[in-house]
Amino acid sequence: MEEIAPITPADRAVRRPLRPFRFGVVAAGARSGEEWTAKARRAEELGFAVLVVPDGLRHTLGPLPALALAAAATRTLRVGTYVLANDFRNPVQLAKDVATLDFLTGGRVELGIGAGRVGSDVDNRSLGVPFDSGAVRVARLGVRGYVADCVPTMATSSGSMASGAASPRRS
């Protein structure tokens, strides 16, 4: 059996501090705003750390407005996206929207973004967006360059890069 080396101060310098294990809940819809806020409050009461909303055109609430309402109805519950579809939104506007939501919630937003899931092809067709191969969609996700300080870049249809700054920024 191989012996495991102890963690050294140098190891600690490059590792992120451990976070306590957390539990989250996925919620996609409600029949009313009152029902939605009740779900968020119940998740918080039950001790869930985060409520996440999936992204899709069918059978779900719009993630960002739903998260804003859930955050407004709770005090400690973190809110997040259960993987936003990269192809659906302009990255500069998305960075601004997420930065604003994070600012207004006191830093309680967790962003998940991805390049596709089962059924994405139907949503893409509904939007008139090509559903390229997985490799192309993943590469496009990387090219768009989402960064923490909200200065994303994206490839334009002409192949050039467009940059934009979004506010608010954390100080």
> What residues are paired with 113 via a beta bridge?
84
CATH number at residue 32: 3.20.20.30
Predicted pLDDT of residue 34: 98
Count of the separate structural domains present in the chain? 1
CB neighbour class for 22 (10 Å; exposed up to 12, middle 13-18, buried from 19): exposed
Non-local CB neighbours of 162 within 8 Å, separated by 6+ positions: 92, 153, 154, 156
**Phi and psi dihedrals of 50, rounded to 5?**
-145, 145
pLDDT top residue among 88 and 5: 88
Which domain covers residue 34, as residue numbers? 22-163
For residue 133, tell me if it sits in a domain. Answer: yes
For residue 97, tell me if it sits in a domain. Answer: yes
Predicted pLDDT of residue 18: 73
In this structure, which amino acid lies at residue 27? Answer: A
For residue 10, tell me if it sits in a domain. Answer: no
pLDDT band at 170 (very low <50, low <70, confident <90, very high): low
pLDDT cut 70: percent of the chain above it: 75
For residue 1, tell me if it sits in a domain. Answer: no
pLDDT band at 169 (very low <50, low <70, confident <90, very high): low
State whether residue 101 is helix, strand or coil. helix
**Residue the block writes with tokens 């750390």:** 49
CB 104: neighbour CB atoms within 10 A? 14
Q: How do residues 107-166 score in pLDDT, each as one tens digit? A: 999 999 988 888 889 999 999 989 999 888 888 777 554 444 444 444 444 443 445 555
> What residues are paired with 114 via a beta bridge?
85
Residue 38 has pLDDT above 90, yes or no: yes
For residue 147, tell me if it sits in a domain. Answer: yes
For residue 64, tell me if it sits in a domain. Answer: yes
For residue 80, tell me if it sits in a domain. Answer: yes
Predicted pLDDT of residue 159: 41
Predicted pLDDT of residue 27: 97
Q: Rounded to whole angstroms, what are the CA distances from 147 to 20, 83, 104, 159?
A: 25, 16, 19, 20
Predicted pLDDT of residue 158: 40
Predicted pLDDT of residue 73: 98
Q: Which of 19-23, 29-33, 75-79 has the lowest mean pLDDT?
A: 19-23
Tokens of 37: 């806020």
Predicted pLDDT of residue 161: 41
For residue 125, tell me if it sits in a domain. Answer: yes
